[in-house]
Amino acid sequence: MALTPRQELVLGAVVEEFIASGSPVGSRLLFESQTFGIASSTIRNDLAALEELGLLDHPHTSAGRVPTDAGYRYYVDAIVKEHHDAAALPVDHATVRSEIDEALEVTAEALSRATELLAIVSAPSLSTTNIRHVEVLSLQPHVVMVVVITTSGRVTKRVVRVERPIDEGLADFARVYLNERLTGKQIGTRVIDSAFSSAELGAQERAFLAELRPAFEIVVEQDADGLHLGGTARLLERLTEQGAGHLNDIVGLLEERYNLLQLLSEALRSPDLYLRIGREIGDPLLRDCSLVATTYGVANRNLGTVSVLGPTRMDYQTAITAVRGAAVTLSSLLEETW
């Protein structure tokens, strides 16, 4: 829908005042506080027109107006159109460069503090990254650990129990062989499978590698474990303040990381900022929430998402700026380690 410039100013003023105060916004308050020189009667007419368009709601007969989901959407779209290149979010990654998961956790906490919202940062999907190095470590006579380091800096560790005592020479062979065959190869591809079934392998070598094979299998739960949350308590506190319901169900949703992974999967495919307000999210439990997300990565390749989840009455300007800044920070970090 197309609004006049004056109606856009009035709508923006209502949204920003409601975000700041949480109270319905009346024409008198706008007239006393506005700086764009509009008469009180004109403001009342614009408020009525915006309500008729479905951008504002009138909770009570004598109360002022509050934004609807559509009103927030119009307001946010205007912010997005005017955006400039985001500056990096100040995050101290100096001590966590060894593992990307630690950097993501630090970023989630910093993003939550900057926005006072729940921050969700997803690790690069294991199925989209390549293997950088493999370690095969003999821990006990029947226990071996397989460590896989990917080009995104992510580290996965798997302890494997074997029936026969582990021969140190066999463990060394597996480490050398797997690095020769798998370094630079993308996880989850047929190339990985072929390394474990090569005709050049002897029976003993093939049997030992078969026991290590599960360490290279990709399952959805592993990607879900790569979600880093910061500020869960902040989200619940904000929702409680604003009278949102189903808080126990929302807690359950946050605990089920797989559901969050599904929620962010569409954001990972988005070429720009991904923003869903209220019922746009699709999950009835989150009808009182908004999601602001964007991607980070290297060489025009999306590897993961940075997002904040909060009530529809959130500071969208701060949220958008912080999310974009966190993505810039992570992309820069990955450029150094990729």
Distance CA 239, CA 254 (A): 14
What pLDDT is attached to residue 219? 43
What pLDDT is attached to residue 153? 67
Distance CA 48, CA 36 (A): 19
| End-to-end CA gap in the chain | 44
Distance CA 154, CA 186 (A): 13
Q: Domains of the chain by range and CATH?
A: 5-81 (1.10.10.10), 100-123+226-337 (3.30.450.40), 127-221 (3.30.390.60)
Q: What is the per-residue burial (b if ≥16 Cβ within 10 Å, else e) of 272-291?
A: ebbbbbbeebebebbbbbbb
Distance CA 235, CA 238 (A): 5
Backbone phi, then psi, for 259, in 5-degree steps? -65, -40
What pLDDT is attached to residue 138? 87
Tokens at 182, concatenated: 């798998």
H or E segment and range at residue 104: helix 100-115
pLDDT, tens digit (0-9, with 9 covering 90-100), for 166-179: 887 888 999 999 99
What pLDDT is attached to residue 260? 76
What pLDDT is attached to residue 66? 93
What pLDDT is attached to residue 220? 42
Backbone phi, then psi, for 223, in 5-degree steps? -65, -40
Angle at alpha carbon of residue 30, lines to 29 and 32, rounded to 5° = 65
Tokens at 115, concatenated: 């926005």
Residue ranges of the chain whose pLDDT lies below 50: 96-97, 219-221
What pLDDT is attached to residue 127? 61
Tokens at 194, concatenated: 């072929």
Pick from 94, 114, 131, 155: nearest CA to 336: 94
